[in-house]
Chain A
Amino acid sequence: MKNYTDKEMMALCAGRLVPDGAVLFAGTGLSMLAATVAKRIHAPESVVFFETGGIDPALDELPLAVADPRVMSGSAMNAGLIEAFSILGHRRLSTIAFLGAAQIDPYGNLNSTALGDYRHPKVRFPGSGGACDAASLAWGVIIFMQHEKKRFVTQVDYLTSPGWLDGGDSRQKAGFRRGGPMAVVTNLGILKFHPETKRMYLAEVYPGVSVEEVQEKTGFELDVSQAVATPAPGEQELAILREEVDPQRLILGPAA
């Protein structure tokens, strides 16, 4: 039996992907957790900022939303949205954004707006917020997804946040100067994007997960030929995550 939960594994895996010294753009939920994890464990020289304008806050307590007063405390500066988005797209900064979504396609395009017809939606979600901006302007994007067939789809119902668009050089042709998704971290493994075609492939599977299970829960054909096993989380990583980052388990949820 594994002694950790999917959310713990996802937060730690995302943290491991962050190079030290990165400038991290965090949203709500798991993405908040991952940015805090990266700063506390894997990339201590990184800084976290929020679209609301909180730049490099202390994060002594976990914020529950990007406008939580905890993103304004002990910060380098407290600004506003215009300033925060100027940092997000700043040409000198390798900004990395964490995003989640309801749907993702093979090129990492995301839907966080609606299911069904946009004007008469079956299900309405919150909308872009700053997600479209992060996906458009950041140097790189790390995506969180629950790995389900209905979420990994050939075509998203509404394209909220641009990934690699139609693959190849289509993102560049559309007018974006940089960016694009780096990886998708799910509850089953880690997916990356082919350097030329920009199509999603399976890069890692978690302990106890089979490649077949991943393919079965993905709504499109996945190249699984390069998949390797992800190492299980270390005791120290888990201890910091549980005791320092989210002691109330506000985002982690029930323990294993």
Chain B
Amino acid sequence: MDLTGKLMTAKEAVEKFVHDGDQVSLGGFTLNRNPMSLVHEMIRQGRKDLYLVCHSHGQAMDLLVGAGCVSRMEIAYGGMGRFAPTCIRFRRAVQRGQLALEDYSNYQMSLRFLAGAMGLPMIATKTGLNTDIVGKEGFDPADRGQGKVPVQKLVVGDNPFAPSGDKVVLLPALNPDVALMHAQQVGTDGTVRIKGLSFADLEQARAADRVLVTCEQIVPREQIRQDPDQNSLPGFLVDAVVHAPLGAHPTACHYFYDYDPQHLKMYGQMAVDDDAFRRYLDQWIHGSRDFEDYLAKLDPAALERIKADPVLGYAPGLDRR
């Protein structure tokens, strides 16, 4: 097995595998390992009516929502830590009623991906009983059962193995059309290696119909198979591999670079204003041929500052104010 037919540019990967209306899962978590090169490309190609399924998401989600690519979303959290306690374009879109939105918790979303990966139609949990996550629905009842929208948000039922009245929450499984993720390494055999935390990327990939992986490095098959304990996914689950160094910028990629506080701060300042946000999209995304072109516009000194220490995995002493 090799990368023949799978190795492509982000532009080709999005053209071929991401369609309007698709249910899409985003790998990474808030400000870490967001699949930014693919997300830029989706915005450039004007993808519409995407149905995002997320646990806790930040930069990639906020850009897709702000650029008008998303019409429906199931999510646990939209935030960027101190850089945006609530994602700015996400908040605005929800308050303006521009998104069909359904809230779950992080564990619930992770379990739903896990159930999808295991080929189960549903999964039971004890989290969320008697909350409004259980009690309130965001989607229009008329949309229930349409496409990938589950017939019910969730169901509270009795544990059939307990003597009486022990409640559980039953959650519908998720099987996204496409899973997007950014990894540190992919072997020439397609084997994927994620360093640092995997979040729910692997459950998402195993649950999805199509898997798109961007990576910092492509390494020889012999090298990635020298230490298989470190590997995350076999190549036969992957449909497209994109070599995208710094492909998670301005979010972090463990052992390669930290998040970029300057860029995130600038984004935060522009995102609060509709016109300024449009200028951000024009300048950094529509005005860039591809992700490399975007990277070339960044301050090289800033990229140098976020370079990760090879042992710590982040940039120690980075000014994060």
Contacts and interface: CB of A to CB of B under 8 A. Distances in A.
Interface of A: 28-29, 51-54, 60-61, 64-74, 78-82, 85, 88-89, 113-114, 118-133, 136-137, 158-162, 165, 170, 174-177, 248, 250-251
B296 interface: no
Given A67-B29, A73-B313, 19 more contacts: A65-B31, A67-B56, A69-B252, A69-B258, A69-B308, A69-B313, A72-B197, A81-B55, A89-B127, A120-B97, A121-B94, A124-B86, A128-B76, A130-B56, A130-B77, A130-B107, A159-B135, A250-B320, A250-B321
Interface string B266-296: 0000000000000000000000000000000
Contact of B30 (A67, A79, A159, A176): A67
Prevailing SS type, chain A contact patch: loop
Interface in B95-137: 95, 97, 103-108, 110-111, 114, 126-133, 135-136
A53 to B, nearest CB: 4
Given A82-B111, A128-B106, A136-B129, A65 B86 contact: no
Contact of A122 (B81, B95, B110): B95
A129 B86 contact: no
B41 interface: no
Given A124-B91, A136-B127, A73 B312 contact: yes
Contacts of B143: none
14 contacts: A64-B31, A69-B252, A72-B313, A81-B107, A85-B107, A128-B103, A128-B105, A129-B56, A133-B105, A133-B128, A136-B131, A175-B166, A177-B126, A248-B321
A159 B87 CA distance: 21
B173 interface: no
Given A68-B252, A85-B106, A248-B320, A137 B127 contact: yes
B133 A67 contact: no
A69 B248 CA distance: 13
A132 B128 contact: yes
Contacts of B32: 52, 65, 67-69
B314 A174 contact: no
Contacts of B126: 89, 136-137, 175-177
Given A73-B312, A81-B55, A123-B95, A129 B106 contact: yes
A126 B105 contact: no
A132 B108 CA distance: 10
A89 B200 CA distance: 18
Interface string B191-225: 00000111111110000000000000000000000
B85 interface: yes
A207 B308 CA distance: 44
Nearest to B318: A61
Q: Which 10 A-B pairs have the closest CB atoms?
A: A65-B81, A175-B167, A129-B77, A126-B79, A67-B29, A67-B32, A69-B314, A133-B107, A132-B105, A72-B196
